[in-house]
Structure 1
Amino acid sequence: MNIFMSADWFYPAQMGGPSNAIYWQAKAMTRAGHRVTVVAASQDLPDSVTLDRWLTMDCGRVIYTRNPHFYLPIKHIWYGISAIWQADVAHINSLFYPSSWVLVVVAKLLQKRIIWAPHGELSPAALAYRPRLKRFLLSLFRRLSHRVVFHATSSDETVHIRQHIGSRAIVREIANRMEMPLLTIRNARPYILFVGRLHPIKAIDSLLEALSDSTVFRRSDYTLVIAGPDSGGYKAHLVQLIQQLDLSQKVVIRGLVRSPEKEQLYADAHVLVLPSHSENFGNVVIEALAQGTPVITSTGTPWQLLEMEQAGSWVSNQPDCLRAAIERFLQMPTETYQLYRNRALKLARDRYDIFKNTDQWEQFYQEAL
C-alpha cells in the first residue's frame, strides 16, 4: 500500500504530541512493508535537519519543506501534490493548516481515498482561539467532507467531529500509540512533572494555583518541574504568576527536553500532572506511564482509564481538585505508590505499543480503500 501523509509539525520537531504520533505511525507502517511518503513543514526543527530534499528515514520517504512563512506553505503544497499522485491513501493531518485544505481538494480531484485527522483542533478549548476564522473554515470543510474518513483518537473527539462537520461524517476511532522507549533506570527525585508546550490550553496556571494552596507541597521537599517549548510567549505569563504566588523557590521551568533526557525526567518524577482544558489524546500520558510514573490528568482529557486501571487520577482541573489529587500521591504509602508504578508500566507497554497494534492501522487504510 502506498500511503501519503502530510504534517505541519513532524519529528524531530517537538511542538505538540502529533509531531511524534504521526512519526510513530509512519514508522510502524513502513516496518510492516508499506510505502510511506511524508511531506512536512520545517517548523521547530534542529539545524541538522536537511530541508527541501527527499530523505530516506525509518518512517519512509520524508521531505521537510522550507516555506516563505509557516502559514504560506507553498513548497509543502507543491511536494504534497506530487506525492498524492502516487498514493493509494492520502492521510491529511490538521484541519486548519492551510496546505491541508488544498491537499484534500487535490486528493478528491484525483479520486484518492482521504483520511483527515483533526488532532484535537475541534475541541471547545481549541476552537476558542480565532473562533470567527475557524467557524468560516468549518463551513467550507463541511462541503469537503463527502467520502472523507475522519480519524478520531477518542470518543470525545468523535463527538466534536460530528458536531462541527456534520452528524453524517464518517469517523473511525484509533487511539494514539507510540514506540516504547527503553525502560530507564529510575533515580527517584522529589518533584512533580509537567511536560508539554507552554500554552493557555494546558491550564498550567490551574496547576500553579493548586500547588500554591497546598500546605503539604509547600512544607515538603517536592518541587514542580515544567518542561516544554514556549508557545506565543506564554512562558512570560507563567514566570509572572510564579512570582505572584510566591513559588519561585518551588518551581523550575526547563524548556524543551529531548530524549534520552526526557525519559530520565519521566522516570525520576514522583507523578506527572497534565491539567489541560482539552486534549484529544495526550501522548505525554503514555510517555510517563511507559517509565512507570503515575499520571494525574484532567477530565478535559480522555484518560478515565487511569482511574479504572489504578495507574493515576482523572479529576477536574479546578485548583482544589488538582491539589487534593497531588496531595494524595505525595502522602501515599510507599507500598501503595509502588503498585501504582507497576500498573502504570503494564498499562503503557501492553496497550499502547504501536508495533503491537499495526494491524489496526492496516485495517483502517484497507477499509478506506
Structure 2
Amino acid sequence: MKILQISASYKPAVIYGGPIMSVAMLCEQLANAGCEIMVYTTTANGSKELSVTPNEAANIDGVAVIYFKRITKDHTHFSPTLLKSVWQNVKNYDLVHIQAWWNLVSVLSCLIAVWRKVPVVISARGTLSPYSFQNKNKGIKKIIHHLLTKPLFKRSHCHVTTEREKEAMLSLVHPKSIFNIANLVKLPLANYTAGNNGGSVFKLIFLSRIEEKKGLDILINALPYLTFPFTLTIAGDGDSNYVDGLKELVKTHGHEQNVNWLGFQNENKFELLNGHDLLVLPSYDENFGNVVIESLSQGTAVLLSEFVGLSAYVVQKKLGWQCEPDSRSLANQLNLISGQQAQLTRIRTTAPAIIESDFDKSKLLNQYTTMYTHIINNG
C-alpha cells in the first residue's frame, strides 16, 4: 500500500498543536506496519521556517518526508514546488490523504489528485465546519467552498474523528463516503496517576493553543463567579496581541494572583496535567481534542463545552462534565465540580485504563488500514 500524505505543515512544527502530532503519529504507525508512506509538506513553522533541507527526502522518526519551500506564510502556505511534485508523482501512489483544509497546499493538491484520477481521502482536522465560516476570511471561504470544496469533496472520501465532526461535515459537503476513526494520540509509557491532587485549593488547567475558537475568554470571564479557592494554569501560546488582551482581561477581573501563564509546554505536559484537578476546554468549536485524551490518560478529569468533539464520549463514559460555551454555565459547572471529590477520585483511578483500551493504537491503526483498503478498491 503506497500512500501520499499531504499536509501543509509537519513536525517538528509543533507550534500548530495537536493536529500536527496526530498526522505524524498516523504516518509513523502506518510506516511501522509496512505501508509505504511519503509525506509532502512545507517548511512552515508559524511566521518562521523550519531549519530543514528543502526538496530532499528526510527520515523523520521512520517516515519519509519532503519539505518544500512556501512563498506565502500562514495560513495559505502556497508552494509551487510541492504542487509540481504532486502533479509529477501522484500516479505512483495508491491513494492520497489530504490533511486539513483552507490552505493552498490541501485544496490544490486535492484538485490535482482528483484531476489525475487517484483516490483521495480528506481529513479536515477541524478546519471545515459551520464555525469556520464565522471567523477569518469568511467571504473568500464561501466562494472557494462553492467553486472548489463542494465539487472536490463530492469526488473524494472523507475521514472524521468524532460523530459531532461527521454531522458538521455532512451539513456542508457530500463526499463519496465518510469514515469515523479517532485520532491516534501519543501517550507516555509511564503514568503519573499514583497520587490524588485533593487539597484546599482546586487546581484548574487550560492546555491548548491560544486562539479565539478555544474559548479561553469564556473561562477567564467565568473566574469572578467561582465560589471556591482556585488556581488556573494556562499552558499554551498564540498571537501575542490576543494573549496580551486575555492577560489584561484577567487583570480587570482582579485574578492575576490566581492565574499562572506558562506558555507552550510539550515534554512535561503529562506531568503537568496529572498535577491538576481538572482540565477545562470551553471551545467554541473543536472536532476532537487530543488534550482530552492526554488529560484522562493521566487520571485528570475534564470539563468541556458541548462543541468539543469528544464531549459526548466523556459524558457517556462518565469521565468528566459538559457545559455550554458561556461564562455563567461554565462557572456553575465549576462550582458544582469543585465539591465532587468522590467523582474526581473515581475518574483519577479508572480513566487511564479506559483510555488505554478505547484508544489503543493497534485497534485504531487497523481501522485506518481498513479505510484505505476500501477506498483503494472502490475508487
TM-score, structure 2 length as denominator?
A: 0.89
Matched-pair contact (CA < 8 Å) for 1:23–1:59: no
Deviation at 1:19, TM superposition (A): 0.5
Aligned to 1:108: 114
* Structure 1 residue 345, shift from structure 2 partner: 1.2
Tell me the residue number matched to 1:88.
94
Partner of 1:207: 219
1:191 to 1:9, Cα distance in 2 relative to 1, 3 A: farther
Q: Which amino acid aligns with 2:28?
A: K
Is 1:153–1:280's contact at 8 Å kept on the other side of the alignment? yes
Query: 5 Å matches for 1:1-369?
Result: 1-14=1-14, 15-44=16-45, 49-52=51-54, 53-70=56-73, 71=76, 72-129=78-135, 130-140=137-147, 141-166=149-174, 169-185=176-192, 191-216=203-228, 220=229, 222-231=230-239, 233-259=241-267, 261-302=268-309, 303-333=311-341, 335-369=342-376
Residue type matched to 2:57 in 1?
W
- The Cα offsets for residues 90-118 of structure 1, whole Å up to 9 and x where unpaired, read as 00112211111221122123221100111
Cα shift at 1:81: 3.8
Separation in structure 2 between the aligned mates of residue 39 and residue 233 of structure 1, nearest angstrom: 32
Residue ranges of structure 2 left out of the alignment (5+ in a row):
none
CA RMSD of aligned residues (A): 2.1
Larger mean Cα displacement after TM superposition, 311-320 or 41-50: 41-50
- Structure-2 separation of matches of 1:47 and 1:110: 31
What is the alpha-carbon distance in structure 2 between the residues aligned to residue 6 and residue 35 of structure 1? 14
- Give the deviation of 1:188 after TM superposition: 5.8
Q: How big is the shift at 1:287?
A: 1.0
Aligned counterparts of 2:300 and 2:242: Cα–Cα separation in 1: 27
How many angstroms apart in 1 are the aligned matches of 2:43 and 2:120?
Answer: 24
User: How many residues of Structure 1 are paired with residues of Structure 2 in the alignment?
Assistant: 362
SS at match of 1:284: helix
Deviation at 1:135, TM superposition (A): 0.6
Distance in structure 1 (CA, Å) of the matches to 2:185 and 2:319: 18
Is the deviation greater in 285-294 or in 74-83? 74-83
Shift of the 152–310 alpha-carbon distance from structure 1 to 2, 3 Å rule, reads same
Give the direction of change, closer, same or farther, for the CA distance of 1:124–1:233 in structure 2 (3 Å limit). Answer: farther
Letter in 1 for 2:217: D
In structure 1, the residue corresponding to 2:262 is in which secondary structure? strand
SS in 1 for 2:11: coil
User: What TM-score, normalized by structure 1, do the two folds share?
Assistant: 0.91
Are the aligned partners of 1:188 and 1:269 in contact in 2 as well (CA < 8 Å)?
no
Distance 2:36 2:42 in 1: 20
Cα distance in 1 between the residues matched to 2:163 and 2:323: 18
Q: CA deviation at 1:73?
A: 2.2
String of CA shifts for 1:256-299, please: whole Å, max 9, x gaps: 1112x111111111111110011111111111111111111010
Whether contact under 8 Å (2:4, 2:37) holds in the other structure is: yes
Contact 2:154 2:173 in 1 (8 A): no
CA distance 1:355–1:11, shift in 2 (3 Å): farther
Letter in 2 for 1:33: G
Q: In the aligned structure 1, how far is the partner of 2:139 from the partner of 2:88?
A: 33
Amino acid at match of 1:54: A
Task: Specify whether residues 36 and 127 from structure 1 end up closer, same or farther in structure 2 by C-alpha distance, changes over 3 A only.
Answer: same
Contact 1:307–1:313 (CA under 8 A) maintained in structure 2: yes
Give the SS at the match of 1:6.
Answer: strand
Secondary structure of the 1:215 match is coil
| Contact kept? 2:13, 2:50, Cα under 8 Å | no
Q: Flag structure 1 segments of 5+ consecutive residues without an equivalent.
A: none
The offset of 1:191, in angstroms, is 2.3
Residue 42 of structure 1 contacts residue 65 of structure 1 at CA under 8 Å; is this kept in 2? yes
Question: What is the CA–CA distance in structure 1 between the aligned matches of 2:145 and 2:240, rounded to whole Å?
Answer: 24
* Per-residue CA distance 1:25-71 (angstroms, 9 max, x = gap): 11111111101111122223898852313111335201233322223
- State the identity %: 23
Do the aligned partners of 2:224 and 2:253 also contact (CA within 8 Å) in 1? yes
Q: CA deviation at 1:180?
A: 2.3
Q: How far 1:332 moved relative to its partner?
A: 2.3
Take 2:153 and 2:51, find their aligned partners in 1: how far apart are those partners? 35
Question: What is the letter of the counterpart of residue 332 of structure 1?
Answer: Q
Identify which range, 324-333 or 146-155, moves more after superposition.
324-333
Q: Contact 2:196/2:345 (CA < 8 Å) preserved in 1?
A: no
